[in-house]
Structure 1
Amino acid sequence: MEYLIMTKALIVLTNVAKYDSLDRPTGLWLSELTHFYDVMRDHQVEVDVVSPTGGYIPLDPHSMMSMDVTDWKYYQDSDFRNQVLGATLSPDQVVPQDYDLIYYAGGHGAMWDFPASTVIADIASQIYQNNGIVAAICHGVAGLLPIKDEKGEPLVANKRLTGFSNTEEAANETTDAVPFLAEDALKELGANYQAGPSFTSCVQVDGRLLTGQNPQSARDLAETVIEHLG
C-alpha cells in the first residue's frame, strides 16, 4: 500500500445541537466523520478537526441508531470522543497553509452554522487557492455556500457537485424544518447539481472540488479524495 507523506486534512463539524424551530436534537451525522476519518488514518493523513465555535460536537441521535463497525470503533475510543468530538479547534487556531484538504461533514446542524461561518469559508478558500482540495458531504455542502474563488465569485458556480437532495429531505420529513434546501441553495449559486438514487452512494468530482450526496457516500468520497491527493 502506498502512503501519503506529510499530508494534512482539516475536518469541519457542526456545533448546532437542536433544530431551530423544533424541539428535536440534531448535530453531526456520526458516520460522515468516522468513515472519512478512518480512510484518512489508513493512508497516514494527519487530521485536525475544527468547528465554527470550537469545543464540543453534538451528535445527531438518529445517526446512532444504525451504527456499523467503523462507527463503533471510534465511538468506543475515549481519545476520539474526548479529543476529536470534545475539543475541536476554533477557526482562529487554524493556519490554512498547513492543510492539503478541507472536508465538511454533515448532519442537519450544519445547515445553520456552516453558511454563517465566513471565517471557515475563508480558510477553505485559502486551501483551495493553494492547490488544495475542498470536499463536503450531505448537509455539509452548506459550508460551500459562502466560499469564494480567487475572483471573489462563489466557488460552486458552474461546478459539478452533489449534496443531500430535495427528494431525500422530503423522505426524511425535514423539508419544513431546515432553513433552506441544500440542493436549491447550490443551484441558486449556479452549481451544476447532480444526484443519484436516494440514500445510495454518489460522489461528484470537479477539479479539486469533491462532494458526496449522503451518509452512504462517506467512504467512497474519502477514497476519491485520497486518489486526488496522490
Structure 2
Amino acid sequence: MKKILVILTNTTRYGQTTAPTGLWLGEATEFVEEVVKAEFQVDYVSPKGGFVPLDPRSMKYVDESIMRVYESNDFQQRALIRSLAAKDVNGADYSAIYFTGGHGVMWDFPNDVNLQRLTRTIYENGGFVTAVCHGIAGLLNVKLTSGQYLISGKHVTGFTLSEELIAGKRRVVPFLNQQVAESHGAKFEKKRAYKTFAVRDGQLITGQNPFSAQAVAEKLISAIG
C-alpha cells in the first residue's frame, strides 16, 4: 500500500496575538477522503507532534463529508491528538507528502528542518510533493541536495496576495506566500480568488485556496496511478 504524509500545524494563535488559528479542517479531510478512497494509507505529522488545533473560522465551511472524516476516531486520534513528530518520521517510507493550510502554518512550517528533510527525501526519491493554500509555506525554503530551492523554476500556486487581503490577515501574517515563492524562483499561477485551482509541475502539485484540496488529491492520485 502506498503511503502519504499529511502535514499539520501545531500553531494555536496568530503570532503574539490572542486570536486563535490552526489547521483549516477541510484542507485535511477533503484530501484524506479522496486518497483513502483510492486505497492509499495516510500518516499525520506535525512539527512538534501531538496536539493539532483547528482554525475556528474553518468550521464555518464544513459539510457532511468534512464532518464524516472529522468525527472518525482515526482522524481524531492520529491527526488531532497524537500526530507524529516530524523528527521521528522516515521520508523513505512514503510516496508523497501533503502540506495542509490554515494561517498557523505560516509560523511553524517554513523553517522546520525536519519537514524540509522529509520533503527533500520524498522528492529526491521520485515521490510527490503537494500542498494546498497556506500549506505552500512548507515548500518555500526547502532546498534540494544541489542547494537549489525545490520550487525554483516550477509552476506553483497557493494562497494569493488578493486572497490574503480579502481574508483580512495581510497585516498579521509574517510574510506573503506568493511574494516569497516568486522571490525563490517559482512561477506563481493563480485564478479568481477562492475558486478551485490546482497546478501540477512534474512531482510538484499545489492548490490555491481552501477549496482546492480535492483537486490536489485528484491530481496526485492520477499522477501516482
TM-score surpassing 0.5?
yes
User: Where does residue 31 of structure 2 map in the other structure?
Assistant: 36
- Of 151, 155, 161, the match for 1:160: 155
SS in 1 for 2:223: helix
Q: 1:17, 1:25 within 8 Å by CA — same for their partners in 2?
A: yes
Q: Alignment identity in percent?
A: 40
Supply the distance in 2 between the matched residues of 1:129 and 1:38 (Cα, whole angstroms): 27
CA deviation after TM superposition for structure 1 residue 152, in Å = 1.3
CA deviation after TM superposition for structure 1 residue 66, in Å = 1.7
**Equivalent pairs, count:** 225
- Of 18, 23, 48, the match for 1:23: 18
TM-score (norm 2): 0.98
User: Where does residue 125 of structure 1 map in the other structure?
Assistant: 120
After superposition, the CA RMSD in angstroms is 0.9
- Of 67, 73, 77, the match for 2:68: 73
TM-score (norm 1): 0.96
Supply the distance in 1 between the matched residues of 2:201 and 2:70 (Cα, whole angstroms): 33
User: Where does residue 61 of structure 1 map in the other structure?
Assistant: 56
User: Where does residue 99 of structure 2 map in the other structure?
Assistant: 104
Q: Where has structure 1 moved over 2 Å in runs of 4 or more?
A: none
Letter in 2 for 1:113: D
Supply the distance in 2 between the matched residues of 1:157 and 1:92 (Cα, whole angstroms): 26
- Range 24-33 or range 113-122, more displaced: 113-122
User: Where does residue 138 of structure 1 map in the other structure?
Assistant: 133
1:196-228 per-position Cα deviation (integer Å, ceiling 9, x unaligned):
100001101110000000010010110100000
CA deviation after TM superposition for structure 1 residue 150, in Å = 3.3
Structure 1, unpaired ranges of 5+:
1-5
User: Where does residue 51 of structure 1 map in the other structure?
Assistant: 46
SS in 2 for 1:33: helix
Letter in 2 for 1:66: Y
CA deviation after TM superposition for structure 1 residue 131, in Å = 0.2
Supply the distance in 2 between the matched residues of 1:119 and 1:79 (Cα, whole angstroms): 24
CA deviation after TM superposition for structure 1 residue 21, in Å = 3.7
Q: 1:10, 1:49 within 8 Å by CA — same for their partners in 2?
A: yes
Structure 2, unpaired ranges of 5+:
none
